[in-house]
Amino acid sequence: MLLMPKRVKYRKMQRGRRCGEAQRGSTMSFGEYGLQVLENGWLTHKQIEAARVAISRNVKQGKVTIRVFPDRPVTRKPAETRMGKGKGAVEFWVSVVKSGKILFEIEGIPEDFARETMRLAAAKIPFRTRFVSRKSGA
């Protein structure tokens, strides 16, 4: 499953800034347990999908919510291409994540099982993360 928007207003975007803390999406909304990112950066559609597969393979019952979506295009020019001739083609899609953002939420399973599931998902994500729960006040 390739995560990307159906339509965008502009095909290509500038890189933007990746600093600061998450203003939105930093509290638990849909589940009991979550995976919170502690660093800033880009999360690619492949990394999101790999973490989703790791979670869904481990969780048979319960509900999984994905809180990030790759809506930013990243362009690249071919190797050994001369300067000029415009901006490169869109290579992949990323989601900008800032520290404090909740990436995934799970409900309907015990805490120790949820903790293990989130550990498997965190292994697929290139940032430091932490396990949070509604009880811990995240």
Q: Mind listing the pLDDT tens digit for each residue in 19-37?
A: 899 999 899 999 999 999 9
pLDDT level of residue 3 (50, 70, 90 thresholds): confident
Q: Mind listing the pLDDT tens digit for each residue in 41-73?
A: 999 999 999 999 999 998 888 899 999 999 999
Residue 11 has which token pair?
């095909």
For the purposes of burial, counting CB atoms within 10 Å of the CB of 28, is it exposed (0-12), middle (13-18) or buried (19 or more)?
Answer: buried
Report yes or no: 104 and 37 within 8 Å, Cβ to Cβ: no
| Global pTM value | 0.89
- Cα–Cα nearest to 47, from 119, 134, 125: 125
137 pLDDT higher than 70: no
- What is the set of domains in the chain, with CATH numbers? 33-77+88-128 (3.90.1170.10)
pLDDT level of residue 81 (50, 70, 90 thresholds): very high
Q: Mind listing the pLDDT tens digit for each residue in 82-118?
A: 999 999 999 999 999 999 999 999 999 999 999 999 9
